[in-house]
């Protein structure tokens, strides 16, 4: 029995995606229109641009959904795409526009391309392709199958080389947020490869210990010393704000302190959609990095919690697809996408709440940023394709659906 994929669309993933995307358009208008009017611009300018990217995202979802997963599994295909993205990263590093002290944007007329955003989903895709092809070796040799029993890579085709080069270029922009996400994504994908859980726990412990050591060292030597390191001056300000945002309200602590004010203003039920005080020139990046602070201010703790709950529901549905998938590549790809969304949400909320240093990472679907929306939509398309392909194969073979 041959079944068309269009009848197997997972609406428990697609509908939350639609709702969050539409909410994102509303939030983008709310956080940008007032400043646009004050500067004499079009109050709908930002939301129109975001809308164009959303339409492109829907087209991308339709195209990727129709693809055969055998094409996505091809390591030559994903390796080529990864090489292109890294090349674009290098171009943006040396010739791209500088925004907030960091490079990473390639300007294309009125639009801008941020390769680091695309690198995240491509890295999940790449590692899923590589690790799924080594399942027999992993089953017999555990972690050593991933390293070919060598501490140092012997070939440029080694996945560790790809990860280190990618991380190095992103860190040199400098882009602390995406470098952090890439590191955590690599840890997630390695843990999903089938190796023993002790390697995951050891790696996670090492990352936590290293992060604590770095923060402790910066605290002891002083942020001013870190600020003298080339390229990392603006990152030093973020660390300064993390340690005490109210110590320098006019400079390094300005964003985080006003983020606290915004969340405090929101209380339980918020000031009302469009009625934020902090977005009117008080909180920089209110439409991108700190957009969830404005959401809390306007919709309150209750409204923001409902949005966060919907996002977590989407993530759980994506993780469920990965957990129930029978094919190793499908399982790693879907679970990796869930890990990407969860990691990005954690890093953003951690930054705006002061749990971790602010890293300039956008909030999924709600922040202004066409690149971010397009990347997350591609990730959703991968999961929808995986889910439909797994169901189609099960039905055609007469097996029970998961």
Best CA proximity match to 347, nearest among 361, 333, 335, 366: 361
The pLDDT of residue 150 is: 67
pLDDT value at residue 337:
97
The structure tokens listed for 293 are: 């602070």
Cα–Cα distance measured from residue 368 to residue 377, given in angstroms and rounded to the nearest whole number = 14
Q: b/e map of 107-143 (b: 16 or more CB within 10 Å)?
A: eeeeebbbbbbbbbbbbbbbbbbbbbebeeebeeeeb
DSSP state string for 298-339: HHHHHHHHHHHHHHHHHHHHHHHHHHH-SSHHHHHHHHHHHH
pLDDT at residue 381 in the model: 97
pLDDT at 105: 83
What pLDDT does 241 receive? 62
Is 376 a member of any domain? Answer: yes
**365 neighbors 373 (Cβ within 8 angstroms):** yes
Determine the pLDDT at residue 93: 87
The domain in which residue 325 lies consists of: 1-66+295-343+360-402
- Both tokens of 81, joined, read 């795409």
Continuous segment of H or E residues that includes residue 106? strand 102-108
Nearest to 402 by CA among 380, 386, 382: 386
Tell whether 244 is covered by a domain: no
Q: How many helices (H) and strands (E) does the chain have?
A: 16, 3
How close are the terminal C-alpha atoms of the chain, in Å? 18
Output the pLDDT for position 149.
Answer: 62
Write the DSSP string, 18-80.
HHHHHHHHHHHHHHHHHHHHHTTS-TTHHHHHHHHHHHHHHHHHHHHHHS-HHHHH-HHHHHH
Is 246 buried (19+), middle (13-18) or exposed (0-12) by CB count in 10 A?
Answer: exposed
Closest to 282 measured CA to CA, from 265, 300, 268: 265
Which phi and psi (to 5°) does residue 353 adopt?
A: -100, -5
Is residue 21 domain-resident? yes
Whether the upstream peptide bond of residue 174 has omega within 30° of 0, thus cis, is: yes
Per-residue model confidence (pLDDT) at position 377: 96
The residues, ordered by sequence, that sit 6+ positions from 71 with a Cβ below 8 Å of its Cβ are 77
Reading phi first (left if > 0) and then psi (alpha if -120 to 50, else beta), residue 154 is in alpha
Q: What confidence score (pLDDT) does residue 174 get?
A: 80
What is the domain count for the chain?
Answer: 1
List, as one string, the DSSP characters of 334-362. HHHHHHHHHHHHHHHHHHHHTSS----PP
In a domain, 374, yes or no: yes
- The pLDDT, as a whole number, for residue 300 is 93
Query: Full-prediction pTM beyond 0.85?
Result: yes
Q: How far is CA 303 from CA 144, 279, 353, in A?
A: 48, 18, 17
Mean pLDDT by 10 residues, the chain (402 residues): 79 96 94 81 86 94 92 90 94 81 77 89 95 82 68 72 91 86 92 79 78 71 60 61 66 76 88 86 80 93 96 97 94 96 93 81 91 95 95 78 64
């Amino acid at each position: 029995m041959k079944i068309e994929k269009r009848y197997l669309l997972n609406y428990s993933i697609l509908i939350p995606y639609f709702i969050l995307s539409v909410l994102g358009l509303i939030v983008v208008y709310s956080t940008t229109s007032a400043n646009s009017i004050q500067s004499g611009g079009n109050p709908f300018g930002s939301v129109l641009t975001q809308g164009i990217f959303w339409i492109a995202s829907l087209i991308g979802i339709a195209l990727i959904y129709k693809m055969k997963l055998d094409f996505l599994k091809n390591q030559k295909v994903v390796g080529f795409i990864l090489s292109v993205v890294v090349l674009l990263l290098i171009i943006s590093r040396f010739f791209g526009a500088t925004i907030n002290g960091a490079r990473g944007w390639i300007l294309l007329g009125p639009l801008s391309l941020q390769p680091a955003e695309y690198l995240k989903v491509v890295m999940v895709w790449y590692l899923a392709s590589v690790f799924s092809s080594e399942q027999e070796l992993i089953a017999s040799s555990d972690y050593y199958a991933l390293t070919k029993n060598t501490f140092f890579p012997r070939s440029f085709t080694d996945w560790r080389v790809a990860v280190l080069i990618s991380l190095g270029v992103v860190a040199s922009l400098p882009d602390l947020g995406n470098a952090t996400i890439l590191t955590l994504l690599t840890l997630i994908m390695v843990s999903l490869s089938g190796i023993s859980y002790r390697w995951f726990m050891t790696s996670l412990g090492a990352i936590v210990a290293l992060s604590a050591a770095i923060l402790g060292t910066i605290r002891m030597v002083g942020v001013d010393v870190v600020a003298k390191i080339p390229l990392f001056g603006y990152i030093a300000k973020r660390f300064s704000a993390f340690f005490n945002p109210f110590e320098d309200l006019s400079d390094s602590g300005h964003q985080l302190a006003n983020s606290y004010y915004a969340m405090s203003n929101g209380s339980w039920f918020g000031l009302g959609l469009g009625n934020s005080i902090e977005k009117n020139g008080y909180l920089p990046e209110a439409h991108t990095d700190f957009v969830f602070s404005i959401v809390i201010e306007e919709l309150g703790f209750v409204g923001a919690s409902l949005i966060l709950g919907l996002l977590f529901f989407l993530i759980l549905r994506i993780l469920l697809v990965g957990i129930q998938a029978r094919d190793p590549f499908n399982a790693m790809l879907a679970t990796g996408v869930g890990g990407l969304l969860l990691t990005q949400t954690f890093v953003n909320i951690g930054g705006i709440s002061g749990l971790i240093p602010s890293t300039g990472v956008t909030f999924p679907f709600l922040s202004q940023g066409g690149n971010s929306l397009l990347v997350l939509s591609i990730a959703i398309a991968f999961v929808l394709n995986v889910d439909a392909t797994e169901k189609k194969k099960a039905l055609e073979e007469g097996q029970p659906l998961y």
